[in-house]
Chain A
Amino acid sequence: MTETDTHDGAIVKLPESVTSLAQPASIAEIELMVRRAEFMGEKLDQLRKIAVARTFPSDWILFGKEVYLEANGAFRLHPIIGFSLTNVQKQVEVDDGGVVMVTMTGDASS
């Protein structure tokens, strides 16, 4: 055992081999977390299916190998996923050739 000072000046004794204060989860706790994660995954999948079903094929475009949702489709999803966009910022650049590039950023959550 070793001794150490606390904030109030009291001396407490510590064990020699303290490596971690975290307690390992019990099997029951792990099972609960797994069931919870599975349930959450199922519900999120259901929510996504409902959300996608509100869109139209014309809301989706193929660019390269991936599909992209267009803005009209995005607006159709918002009532389902509870979309929020804040801190929107705009940067406009004009190069020598007259090409205008507008870059917009923001914080999104749902």
Chain B
Amino acid sequence: MESAAYKGLVARATQLVAGLSGITPEELRDRYGMTVGGSVQFKTGAADARKADQATAGNERADIERLLVKLSDGDAKFAEEILVKLTENPSKGWAGKKRASELTENGVKFVLRELLKREAEFDSVESTKN
């Protein structure tokens, strides 16, 4: 993330000081004989990034909530503990998350993967009981 930000800074600063910013593909081709390699659609700003992340991670967060309720048998406190244990990392000083809404995009993927494993174990135990 930080490396990408640094590269972005270098790229923008270079283009600005070289006097090559704000030019169209036609100007780049006609004046400097260079063609453009491709086009990219970026997320622009935190608000758009948040919308995009919520769109993709929203269903997964709902799945996490559902799994936590199932694995804790509806005990909210126990559900919190499960999530905290999954997400804490004392060696790095990371406190665990208590709610799915606090998870990052990567955190959502990791937690969902772990909870699905536990659900499979939970279901197999339940099936042997019955």
Consensus secondary structure, chain B interface: helix
Interface of chain B residues 5 through 24 with chain A (CB within 8 A): 5-24
Contacts A57-B37, A58-B37; is A71 near B32 (CB within 8 Å)? Answer: no
Q: Which residues of A contact B37 (CB under 8 A)?
A: 56-61
Q: Is A100 an interface residue (CB 8 A)?
A: yes
Across the interface, do B1 and A55 meet the contact criterion of CB distance under 8 Å? no
We find that the number of chain B residues with CB closer than 8 angstroms to chain A is 47
8 Å CB contact of A81 from B11, B17, B22: B17
Q: Which residues of A contact B38 (CB under 8 A)?
A: 58, 61-62
B residues touching A (Cβ–Cβ < 8 Å)? Answer: 1-2, 4-25, 28, 31-40, 42, 46, 49-50, 53-54, 101-105, 107
Consensus secondary structure, chain A interface: mixed
Interface of chain A residues 63 through 110 with chain B (CB within 8 A): 63, 65-71, 73-75, 77-78, 81, 83, 85, 88, 90, 92-93, 95-106, 108-110
A residues touching B (Cβ–Cβ < 8 Å)? Answer: 44, 48-49, 51-53, 55-63, 65-71, 73-75, 77-78, 81, 83, 85, 88, 90, 92-93, 95-106, 108-110
Q: How far, in whole Å, are A92 and B46 apart by their CA atoms in the complex?
A: 12
Q: Which residues of A contact B24 (CB under 8 A)?
A: 65-67
